């Protein structure tokens, strides 16, 4: 199985560890996974419900790292600060520069609306493919217009 230059980007949410194996089955050429996480996930909250959500997202991101490690897929995290659009643009520009010619796929099944919308907006720029897994088990392809930018 050839795993050269296929970068898979995940927007971090509470159940990404369930969606990730479904996407690995659908996209077996993934060679690197990057989990994009909202910076607020690492902040404390006085509201118990908010704190439980943030902890669940952090735990889900750790679970994705464990799954990827068991498959020898390198994983890294990108911390996204508000405003998401500019932060995502900077991160994706750097990632694209570090991985010239790579195939890019996105799992936007979790994460904040702002993070998902920013990743979705830049997917065509990278020639990326977007997937959603709302039931956390079945990955569905989301069609995008062809708007790739050549290097």
Quote the CA–CA distance of 72 and 130 in Å, as a whole number.
23
Quote the CA–CA distance of 151 and 98 in Å, as a whole number.
13
Pairing label, strands 140-142, 129-132: antiparallel
User: For 8-25, what is each residue's pLDDT tens digit?
Assistant: 999 999 999 999 999 999
The whole-number pLDDT of residue 2 equals 44
User: For 93-149, what is each residue's pLDDT tens digit?
Assistant: 999 999 999 999 999 999 999 999 999 999 999 999 999 987 767 888 998 876 555
Average pLDDT over residues 28-51: 95
Quote the CA–CA distance of 103 and 128 in Å, as a whole number.
7
- Average pLDDT of the chain, as a whole number: 91
Domains of the chain: 8-142 (3.40.50.10770)
Quote the CA–CA distance of 66 and 130 in Å, as a whole number.
23
CA angle 133, 145, 147 (to 5 degrees): 120
Predicted structure pTM score: 0.90
Tokens of 14: 């509470």
């Amino acid at each position: 199985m050839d795993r050269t230059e296929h970068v898979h980007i995940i927007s971090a949410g509470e159940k990404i560890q369930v969606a990730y194996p479904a996407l690995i089955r659908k996209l077996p050429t993934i060679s690197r996974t990057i989990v994009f996480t909202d910076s607020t996930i690492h902040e404390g909250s006085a509201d118990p419900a908010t704190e439980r959500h943030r902890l669940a997202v952090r735990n889900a991101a750790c679970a994705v790292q464990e799954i990827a490690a068991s498959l020898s897929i390198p994983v890294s995290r990108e911390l996204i600060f508000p405003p998401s659009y500019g932060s995502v643009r900077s991160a994706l520009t750097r990632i694209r520069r570090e991985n010239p010619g790579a195939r890019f796929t996105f799992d936007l099944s979790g994460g904040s609306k702002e993070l998902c919308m920013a990743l979705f907006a830049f997917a065509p720029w990278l020639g990326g493919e977007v997937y959603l897994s709302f039931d956390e088990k079945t990955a569905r392809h989301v069609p995008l217009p062809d708007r790739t930018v050549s290097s």
